């Protein structure tokens, strides 16, 4: 009789195949083509230009992993999970599926060299200390990354808004705010608040277009700059989502010290980050945090931190933590400038 333990491990070992199947489905726009109703194999083969027999086998795999289901006759339909692979879905994972399949899984192939050396892919491959500089060499990579971050943040924003009351802020500055996804969601909920995204110039066009599309151009803007150099002192609140986890202690401190300088004495700093468990367990949440931590190790060189590590980092940079509130898989860490 086969060993259930070995079979379970084999499934884990082969799980990169699932990423590849979902990536191909995303690239072919399978969910986009099925979101208005079931379609036949011939129809999907015509629409995608894929080899009919090979596509049938991909669709079988998509059925086994819960993305497609039988749609009547020879047609295929989407499951509820599969519907989130469509680009136009409210909670779309399509951009992340493309980022994961096109960029991350290739980079993760080098995880062994990172674990052996403690260095990031950018340090090993190009001798570069900033992986965002490496990404900028291929504009398509910047586009894929920014779209993926926006899609993830769209999922998280609802949890953040449900968990935290932003009412006190008159002007919120989103440092490293990328495509303005989070500030757009917050300003949409708080109609008297002003908002600014501060990020590298390469995010300006997408962020500005997003804010205009949300009808927020009159109270939201984009400022280009380098958060290691300075952060503009224009707001009573500064928020950073998925920024500090990108960086090691030294560079995180540099960003937080600039936040401290930018904030008035009665201002508030908010970090939206994953919180690493103190005692990791074998469960989905802890696994997603630990895998994100390795993603930071291989990618930009940062890390996921425990609550105590965030408290230390903030204490070292002139803040004291006033609350930590769970927001889905993330948490909102609120901090005030320490006196003196
Ligand atoms: C992981 S993304 C997070 C984006 C956004 N906060 C979100 O959660 O969707 C990190 C962001 O930091 C920005 N960034 C990287 N280096 C920067 C720098 N030196 N100055 C300003 N922004 C920077 C990137 O362009 C990117 O938008």
Q: What are the pLDDT digits (tens) for 102-146?
A: 999 999 999 999 999 999 999 998 888 889 988 989 999 999 999
Backbone angles phi, psi at 275, to 5 degrees: -110, 120
SS3 239: strand
Question: What tokens appear for 8 in the block?
Answer: 């379970």
| Domain segments of the chain as ranges | 4-83, 159-337
Cα of 50 vs centre of ligand 1, distance in Å, is 36
Kindly report, residue by residue over 25-54, the tens digit of the pLDDT: 999 999 999 999 999 999 999 999 999 999
**Range 156-171 average pLDDT:** 97
Q: Is 273 in the pocket of ligand 1 (CB under 6 A)?
A: no
Selected from 3.40.50.150, 3.40.50.2300, 2.40.50.100, 1.20.140.10, the CATH number assigned to the domain covering 159-337 reads: 3.40.50.150
Pocket test for ligand 1, best of 130, 145, 160, 176 (most atoms within 8 A of CB): 176
CA pair distance 174, 183, nearest whole angstrom: 7
Cα of 154 vs centre of ligand 1, distance in Å, is 15
> So what's the pLDDT on residue 126?
86
> So what's the pLDDT on residue 43?
98
> What does pLDDT average to over the chain?
97
How many CB atoms within 10 Å of residue 66? Answer: 11
Closest to 193 in 3D by CA, of 235, 250, 242, 254: 235
How many CB atoms within 10 Å of residue 191? Answer: 8
CA pair distance 199, 219, nearest whole angstrom: 17
Q: Which CATH architecture has domain 4-83?
A: Orthogonal Bundle (1.10)
Atom of ligand 1 nearest to the CA of 245: 1
Concatenate the DSSP letters of all residues of 58-124 into one string. HHHHHHHTTSEEE-STTEEEE-HHHHTTSTTSTT--HHHHHHIIIIIHHHHTTHHHHHHH---HHHH
**CA-proximal residue: ligand 1, atom 22 (nearest):** 199
Kindly report, residue by residue over 210-223, the tens digit of the pLDDT: 999 999 999 999 99
pLDDT band at 340 (very low <50, low <70, confident <90, very high): low
pTM as predicted:
0.96
SS3 238: strand
- Per-residue pLDDT at 161 exceeds 90: yes
Q: Is 149 in the pocket of ligand 1 (CB under 6 A)?
A: yes
Q: Is 133 in the pocket of ligand 1 (CB under 6 A)?
A: no
How many CB atoms within 10 Å of residue 117? Answer: 10
Backbone angles phi, psi at 271, to 5 degrees: -110, 130
User: Which residues belong to the active site?
Assistant: 245
**Range 255-279 average pLDDT:** 98
How many CB atoms within 10 Å of residue 230? Answer: 12
């Amino acid at each position: 009789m086969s060993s259930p333990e070995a079979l379970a491990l084999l499934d884990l070992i082969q799980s990169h195949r699932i990423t590849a199947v979902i990536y191909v489905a995303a690239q072919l726009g399978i969910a986009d083509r099925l979101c208005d109703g079931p379609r036949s194999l011939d129809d999907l083969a015509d629409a995608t230009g894929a080899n009919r027999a090979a596509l049938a086998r991909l669709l079988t795999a998509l059925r086994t992993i819960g993305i497609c289901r039988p749609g009547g006759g020879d047609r295929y339909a989407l499951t509820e999970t599969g519907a989130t692979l469509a680009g136009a879905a409210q909670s779309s994972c399509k951009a992340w599926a493309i980022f994961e399949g096109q960029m991350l899984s290739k980079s993760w192939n080098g995880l062994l060299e990172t674990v052996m050396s403690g260095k990031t892919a950018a340090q090993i491959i190009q001798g570069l200390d900033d992986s965002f500089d490496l990404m900028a060499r291929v504009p398509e990579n910047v586009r894929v990354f920014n779209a993926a971050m926006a899609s993830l943040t769209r999922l998280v924003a609802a949890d953040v808004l449900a968990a935290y009351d932003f009412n006190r802020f008159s002007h919120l500055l989103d440092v490293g705010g990328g495509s303005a996804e989070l500030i757009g969601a917050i300003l949409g909920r708080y109609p008297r608040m002003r908002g600014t995204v501060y990020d590298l110039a390469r995010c300006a066009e997408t962020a500005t277009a997003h804010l205009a599309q949300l009808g927020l151009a009159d109270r939201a803007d984009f400022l280009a700059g380098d958060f290691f150099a300075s952060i503009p002192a224009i707001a009573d609140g500064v928020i950073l989502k998925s920024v500090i986890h990108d960086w090691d202690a030294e560079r995180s401190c540099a960003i937080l010290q600039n936040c401290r300088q930018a904030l008035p004495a009665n201002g508030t700093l908010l970090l939206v980050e994953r919180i690493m468990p103190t005692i990791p367990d074998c469960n989905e949440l802890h696994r997603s945090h630990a895998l994100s931590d390795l993603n930071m190790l291989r990618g930009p060189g940062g890390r996921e931190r425990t609550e105590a590590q965030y408290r230390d980092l903030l204490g070292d940079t002139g803040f004291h933590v006033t609350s930590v509130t769970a927001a889905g898989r993330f948490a909102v860490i609120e901090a005030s400038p320490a006196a003196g």
